[in-house]
Structure 1
Amino acid sequence: MTTPPRQLKLGAFFTPPGSHYAGWRMPDARPADMEFEDYADMARMAERGLLDMIFFQDTAAVAAAAVDTKDDLEVQTGAARVVRIEPLTLLAALAVVTKHIGLVATATTTYNEPWHIARRFASVDAISKGRAGWNLVTSQFEQEAFNFGQDEHANHAVRYERASEFYDVVTGLWNSWDEGAIIRDKDSGRYFDPAGLHVLRHEGPFFKVRGPLNVARSPQGRPIVAQAGSSEPGRNLAARTADLTFTAQTDVAEARAFRDDMRARVVAHGRHPDALKVLPGLNFLVAETESDARAMQERLMSMMVDRIILPTLSRLTGGVDLRAYPLDGPLPPLPQSNSAHGRQAMLLEMAERENLSIRQLARRFATANGHLVFVGTPKAMAELMEEWLRADAVDGFMLLQPYFPTPLDNFVRLVVPELQRRGIFRTAYEGTTLRENLGLPPL
């Protein structure tokens, strides 16, 4: 008997106004600070395409480059990512205009409290009937510290230590109530079964939280947890805690090595290797013809301002101001960044491997933040995705859209049918919860 091929898991990544620094300037792009109706249209579009989830990036600060623009029109042209709707509020609203698609949002462990995160995601999960997910991050942007009474960003290692304990508290609170513990028996007057209630009483280096949570148990056991760190602490945290990891690889062999490593780490933590889904980012422009897709790419690149895209690298340079170096020269030696260790290592490796100048590296990063880039036809995109899936390099992809809504609309209309013809993507949702649709083990 022939074993059926594995099925791709797909998420649509939302970081308004898009993953490309100049995407918001495209004639068919929605406004950079999209209104709720725009988000609702995009969510329903992703659901028509049977995607597993929509996935919202977030930060708790406005980038320093935007704050310092003043009247510099050229800088303002590149500073479109300054306003956005708070994602958990947005997820709650999207839950009532969608029926099947997962709803995942970023919330930092560095500048939040576990009780707040546990309650908010549990509430979104209840509203959506089991479709919520938390992207656990440790905050990469140093500007966030200034909004929470801090003069500097916490050390990278300390942020991960706090994140690990933060996860334990949040999941402990999510386990406050057993399934079926809320009885609501009018005849007997028993509202809940005391045996099904668990008081956390957590005390650790960072948190002291009594519990229990005042939200009933999640329809899917608990909201799913995503993690995107690729440094050594990030990989270990994901292996212990996460249901999916959002990563960045640009080569199929590199991606397979990453997935193999993560699955081994998951097993070392006593979990089943399939308990963690690995989804690299895939930045794409797809059109019915190769020439149409290339024309879209050329227009995007023509609107990129080199002086303005250099700040996209600033959080990864360890404080070195690249504007002091020749743009067409190589990267200077860089100290260890306190922002994102894994992404900085990837940046340095990419520059060395491809002999990239500062200008070339900045353009690459401003185009896709270091992720795999595809430009071409639906058939070619499906072939690439199938190649990576059959090589066991991925469980699926996180789809990064240069702008909204045309790229995602083209993917749903043109690529999804091609994936379905190849038998590697669903023709209907398998379950009612995000956990079921991702094929994760039940809790």
Structure 2
Amino acid sequence: MTEPLIVGAMVRTLGAYPSGWRYPGAHADPRTDAAILRRVARLGEDAGLDYLFFGDWLATGPDLEFRDPYLLARIDPVSAVLFLAGITERVGLIATVNSTYADPYAIARATASLDLLSGGRAGINLVTGAEPRAAGNHGRDAHADNTARYDRADEFVQALRLLWESWDDDAWIADADAGVLIDPRGLRAAGLEGTQVRVAGPLNVARPPQAHPPIVHAGTSPRSRALAATEADLALIAGPDLASAVQARTELRALAQASGRDPDDLKVIVPVLPVVAETDAAARAIVDRLLLLVPIDDGSSGHADREAFPPHRSLGAFLDAAGVAPDDPVRAASVDDAVPAAVAARFDEPAARTLELVRVRTGRSPGGESPITWRHLIAAHAVPAAFVVGGPSVIADHFEQWREARAADGFNVLSAFQPAQFEAFTQLAAPELRRRGLLGRTGETLRERLSLGAPRLVHGRVPVG
């Protein structure tokens, strides 16, 4: 029987779609994130999800309000998983760490502590950073170049593994009668003297239950793909379509095998943004509302006067992309006017594709009883999203299709807004996924649950415990 998919949740408390926080009833205040985190953790664990994943971004600015509002203010991911460790029992907890700026000893200590406190449910997502403003926040004049960042990331992983292996499992004797607490032969220094990372060790935390908490990595550059293939347990890829995901997974597995690894020990995970409701029509209505809530330059909102407002969210920008002539009378239309079918027929291919996506995802059509407006097209063009829209069967069909095509070993589930959309996924889609054998992995530790096998130990000793 085919093993169930890996299904985790990528938690963004303000929602994964930029207008999600505006949806009626959606969470919109990061000062009350604790309540949302508790609810998401409870829902995810009860639904049998394999892990909760927390990304990170080391800076903020007014531009993020329109581009990625969830990045404006957010809980530190290591703090988030430590918070949830005490109120969950089974679900994995993965925190993002930026190896460009983080201290490897502190991170090894925090992740080993999380693994102990959670009973072996810790994971770490290593990133190298892409936000130039992060440099100033860490006392540096400039963000390191790609080569330097990945040189450090390679050594950072080595430091983590050495520090996690500071203690042998049988080093802790605790013989009260003999007065012997430890066997000092089972405690070792890290002694790493790299060009980017130096760490002495040993680590003053007991050996993690998983020995090595699973390592996650994402990226598209050759160095990033090499790091994922040689060191990561989970590789996150963009997977914009089925064919590109199949190709990316095949290439990563080949790289892993070329490095001497069993390619089955590298799990390839893609993101998915399901918009879920009891019926397909109800799900399409949610997408319709989300598009209408995207801030655009409609001539009356005042958004366009703000310095951080994106310049491409206007009727003129969309018509330029659609290949509509500068002197075409349609440029005088209101953004809330219906798109004439005759005009839509003249769109260039990219704009025609946007129109088709809006039609499929909202149920509207040019010239129909529920017409597509210019506002819909402006929003869908300016804020694209790979929505999978529908009731439980539609969502399960998508998961099943990607598994059968070997495009992914699993999915990171995003929710357009919280908590209602995550609740809809866990209570409507998850049971259907479980019924089809697509959800429901088992294992005491996260490593076991992900079917990763024993870790590759630096010192070559198999853990006793």
- TM-score, normalised by the number of residues in structure 1: 0.84
Q: Which residue of 2 aligns with 1:50?
A: 48
For 1:361 and 1:154, locate their aligned partners in 2 and report how far apart those are by CA, in whole Å. 36
Query: Is 1:40 aligned to 2:42, yes or no?
Result: no
Q: 2:422 aligns with which of 403, 408, 411?
A: 408
For 1:431 and 1:101, locate their aligned partners in 2 and report how far apart those are by CA, in whole Å. 10
Deviation at 1:80, TM superposition (A): 5.7
Query: Is 1:246 aligned to 2:246, yes or no?
Result: no
Asked if structure 2 preserves the Cα contact closer than 8 Å seen for 1:203 and 1:209, the reply is yes
Matches within 5 A, 1:4-153: 4-33=1-30, 34-63=32-61, 65=63, 79=69, 81-153=71-143
Deviation at 1:288, TM superposition (A): 1.1
Query: Is 1:430 aligned to 2:442, yes or no?
Result: yes
Matches within 5 A, 1:202-217: 202-217=192-207
Q: Which residue of 1 aligns with 2:191?
A: 201
Deviation at 1:250, TM superposition (A): 2.2
Deviation at 1:138, TM superposition (A): 0.6
For 1:403 and 1:422, locate their aligned partners in 2 and report how far apart those are by CA, in whole Å. 26
Asked if structure 1 preserves the Cα contact closer than 8 Å seen for 2:109 and 2:203, the reply is yes
Counterparts in 2 of 1:393 and 1:96: CA distance versus 1, 3 Å: same
Deviation at 1:424, TM superposition (A): 2.5
Asked if structure 1 preserves the Cα contact closer than 8 Å seen for 2:7 and 2:439, the reply is no
Compare CA radii of gyration and give the structure with the larger one. Answer: 2
- What do residues 128-151 of structure 1 show as CA deviations (whole Å, max 9, x unaligned)? 011011110011111111101122
Which runs of 5 or more structure 1 residues have no equivalent in the other structure?
67-74, 315-320, 332-351
Deviation at 1:15, TM superposition (A): 2.1
Q: Which residue of 1 aligns with 2:274?
A: 284
For 2:426 and 2:73, locate their aligned partners in 1 and report how far apart those are by CA, in whole Å. 27
Counterparts in 2 of 1:249 and 1:58: CA distance versus 1, 3 Å: same
For 2:236 and 2:105, locate their aligned partners in 1 and report how far apart those are by CA, in whole Å. 25
For 2:226 and 2:309, locate their aligned partners in 1 and report how far apart those are by CA, in whole Å. 25
Asked if structure 2 preserves the Cα contact closer than 8 Å seen for 1:24 and 1:31, the reply is yes
For 1:442 and 1:365, locate their aligned partners in 2 and report how far apart those are by CA, in whole Å. 45
Counterparts in 2 of 1:120 and 1:353: CA distance versus 1, 3 Å: farther
Deviation at 1:196, TM superposition (A): 1.7
Matches within 5 A, 1:292-311: 292-306=282-296
The secondary structure found in structure 2 opposite 1:214 is coil
Asked if structure 2 preserves the Cα contact closer than 8 Å seen for 1:259 and 1:394, the reply is yes
For 1:383 and 1:64, locate their aligned partners in 2 and report how far apart those are by CA, in whole Å. 39
Asked if structure 2 preserves the Cα contact closer than 8 Å seen for 1:32 and 1:81, the reply is no
- TM-score, normalised by the number of residues in structure 2: 0.80
What letter is aligned with 1:47? E
Q: 2:408 aligns with which of 388, 394, 399?
A: 394
Counterparts in 2 of 1:155 and 1:193: CA distance versus 1, 3 Å: same
Asked if structure 2 preserves the Cα contact closer than 8 Å seen for 1:313 and 1:365, the reply is no
For 2:39 and 2:26, locate their aligned partners in 1 and report how far apart those are by CA, in whole Å. 13
What's the RMSD between the two structures over aligned residues? 2.8
Deviation at 1:31, TM superposition (A): 2.9
Counterparts in 2 of 1:213 and 1:365: CA distance versus 1, 3 Å: farther
Larger CA deviation: 95-104 vs 248-257: 248-257
Asked if structure 2 preserves the Cα contact closer than 8 Å seen for 1:103 and 1:131, the reply is yes
Larger CA deviation: 46-55 vs 409-418: 409-418
Q: Which residue of 1 aligns with 2:453?
A: 441
What letter is aligned with 2:444? T
Counterparts in 2 of 1:76 and 1:312: CA distance versus 1, 3 Å: closer
What letter is aligned with 1:35? D
Counterparts in 2 of 1:365 and 1:291: CA distance versus 1, 3 Å: same
- What do residues 61-101 of structure 1 show as CA deviations (whole Å, max 9, x unaligned)? 113525xxxxxxxx689856421111211211211100000
For 1:94 and 1:237, locate their aligned partners in 2 and report how far apart those are by CA, in whole Å. 29
Query: Is 1:235 aligned to 2:225, yes or no?
Result: yes
Asked if structure 1 preserves the Cα contact closer than 8 Å seen for 2:294 and 2:379, the reply is no
What letter is aligned with 1:28? G
For 2:120 and 2:113, locate their aligned partners in 1 and report how far apart those are by CA, in whole Å. 10
Which runs of 5 or more structure 2 residues have no equivalent in the other structure?
298-302, 323-347, 355-374, 456-465
Counterparts in 2 of 1:305 and 1:354: CA distance versus 1, 3 Å: same
The secondary structure found in structure 1 opposite 2:16 is coil
Q: Percent identity?
A: 38
The secondary structure found in structure 2 opposite 1:154 is coil
For 1:423 and 1:77, locate their aligned partners in 2 and report how far apart those are by CA, in whole Å. 37
Deviation at 1:413, TM superposition (A): 1.3
The secondary structure found in structure 1 opposite 2:169 is coil
Deviation at 1:399, TM superposition (A): 0.3
Asked if structure 2 preserves the Cα contact closer than 8 Å seen for 1:20 and 1:367, the reply is no
Asked if structure 2 preserves the Cα contact closer than 8 Å seen for 1:63 and 1:143, the reply is no
For 1:170 and 1:116, locate their aligned partners in 2 and report how far apart those are by CA, in whole Å. 10
Asked if structure 1 preserves the Cα contact closer than 8 Å seen for 2:253 and 2:263, the reply is yes
Q: 1:272 aligns with which of 255, 262, 268?
A: 262
For 1:277 and 1:16, locate their aligned partners in 2 and report how far apart those are by CA, in whole Å. 26
Deviation at 1:361, TM superposition (A): 9.5
Deviation at 1:353, TM superposition (A): 8.6
Asked if structure 2 preserves the Cα contact closer than 8 Å seen for 1:18 and 1:24, the reply is yes
Counterparts in 2 of 1:18 and 1:93: CA distance versus 1, 3 Å: same
What letter is aligned with 2:48? L
Asked if structure 1 preserves the Cα contact closer than 8 Å seen for 2:116 and 2:208, the reply is yes
Q: Which residue of 1 aligns with 2:216?
A: 226
